[in-house]
Structure 1
């Protein structure tokens, strides 16, 4: 694996590092590698951030304000505004006035947004199939509860 001249990857940290640092370093490396690979197969110039917003809206089964989305993704509101604007320009989301407070606008996924999310999922299929040639379904099923538990713990401790 790797390019010619590169050394073989070593562990996630330095000898003597605390276990927590090793785990968080490994997660960070995996996130970077997965994100880059993930984005390389998404259709129509869709970014990981855009796919993430579409996926989040569907997963939560609710409309969200830009502030709520920014909080969920732990990005600044102007960053989320830009992502939402790009999705809106593509017709993948729409901004709706809140029924209780007309000053509040909620981001809602459109039919085209649902289709784009599905197209992204379909584009990821070969990537997931390749992953399955290196790790069995049993291995992936075994690590999923631990990853979920870690996500919940980290989510409960997110800053402000």
Structure 2
């Protein structure tokens, strides 16, 4: 086994720390009972314009186990944010779709996140966001292709 390239390790270490800090800030801003994982699922449907998705595909997209995804989806379903129904094309499968209540919750979450994001924006110069956005998008796209 070889040691990782120091620059590559440092970049991913920084991304990991940023993820931890952002997840904590998001957790604090979200409505009571809404977790970052639950918000991410609602956001996934809205951001990608997804009408419906199987729990297995969601688990794969979020890189979590199927039981973990099932637990998260069950909580969202109990809150009325998603509907889970049998897949008409697969007798054993299920399909998840976001509800209007789920869309409204996603919008509330986005509104609540505006204050922490405004604080970050005030602390970091705008040029840095402009530089990072395309670089991070490129990195995400390449890493996403690598996992398929």
Normalized against structure 2, the TM-score is what? 0.91
Matching of residue 32 in structure 1 with residue 20 in structure 2: yes
Matched, 1:21 2:9: yes
Which residue, 107, 114, 117 being the options, matches 2:96?
A: 107
Map of 1:150 onto structure 2? 139
SS at structure 1 position matched to 2:84: strand
Unaligned segments of structure 1, at least 5 residues: 1-16
How far the C-alpha of 1:92 sits from its partner, in A, is 0.2
Q: With structure 1 as the length reference, what TM-score do the two structures score?
A: 0.84
Runs of 4+ in 1 over 6 A off after TM superposition: none
Instruction: Look up the SS of the partner of 2:92 in the other structure.
Output: coil
Aligned pair count? 144
Deviation at residue 136 of structure 1 after TM alignment:
3.2
The CA distance in 1 between the partners of 2:42 and 2:118, in whole Å, is: 23
- Find the structure with the greater CA-based Rg: 1
TM-fit CA distance, 1:139: 2.4
Q: For the aligned residues, what is the CA RMSD?
A: 1.6
Q: What is the CA-CA distance between 1:105 and the residue it aligns to?
A: 1.2
Q: How far is 1:102 from its partner?
A: 4.0
- Aligned partner of 1:4 in structure 2 is none
Aligned mate of 1:118, from 103, 107, 130: 107
Relative to its length, the structure with more helix (as a share) is: 2
Aligned to 1:96: 85
CA drift of 1:56 comes to 0.6
CA distance in 2, matches of 1:22, 1:100: 46
Aligned mates of 1:137, 1:95 — CA distance in 2: 41
Structure 2: gaps (5+ residues): none
